[in-house]
Amino acid sequence: MDGKRAAGRALFGGSFNPPHVGHLRLAIEVAETLRPLADSVELMPCAAPPHKVVSGLLPFDLRAAMVEACLDGRPGLSCNRMEAGRPGLSYTWDTLQACREETPERPLFFILGNPDYALLPHWHRGLELPELCQLVVVPRGEGSEKNFLAATESMWPGARACEPVLPGSRRMRLPGGG
């Protein structure tokens, strides 16, 4: 590959129950922002979310079809149906590990909002996610940067600020991970 590093892939998971304009706008913004680092953003509907009541969840195929309809004709955005064939609860760790095995040569980015980022200690292997990917934390609401820094310091006391790769962003180096 001419000695160049493969372009990365960015994953945006969620129940998408149903997908809405906020999901689409976020995917477009992140795709545009990450373009120098990742050539795609894959929206990944969660088959069996461990944190949501399944009785209110639309069928997976319907949610995935709605995501595909939202993304139709938008370059660099796609729906990844990987979760459809996986048994049991859908844990982000398992999904990212499967993606890492699928394309080990490509950098992997996982997109999540600032509120979810702060909850990583409560996720299945949440604090280990940086071993598999680079986290892309999207600000939401007032005080997002302050909350991001406080959450990072709490979860990874050895984290340190480093030179941002993308203009207008903040970049943290986490101990042992991305």
The pair of three-digit structure tokens given for residue 3, joined into one six-digit string: 């000695």
Give the Cα separation of 137 and 171 in Å (integer).
10
Domains of the chain: 8-168 (3.40.50.620)
Q: Which residue has the higher pLDDT, 58 or 142?
A: 58
19 CB-contact burial (10 Å; exposed 0-12 / middle 13-18 / buried 19+): buried
pLDDT exceeds cutoff 90 at 29:
yes
Half-sphere exposure of 66 (CA within 13 A, CB side): 16
pLDDT exceeds cutoff 70 at 2:
no
Give the Cα separation of 137 and 3 in Å (integer).
29
Q: What is the pLDDT of residue 51?
A: 79
Q: What is the pLDDT of residue 153?
A: 93
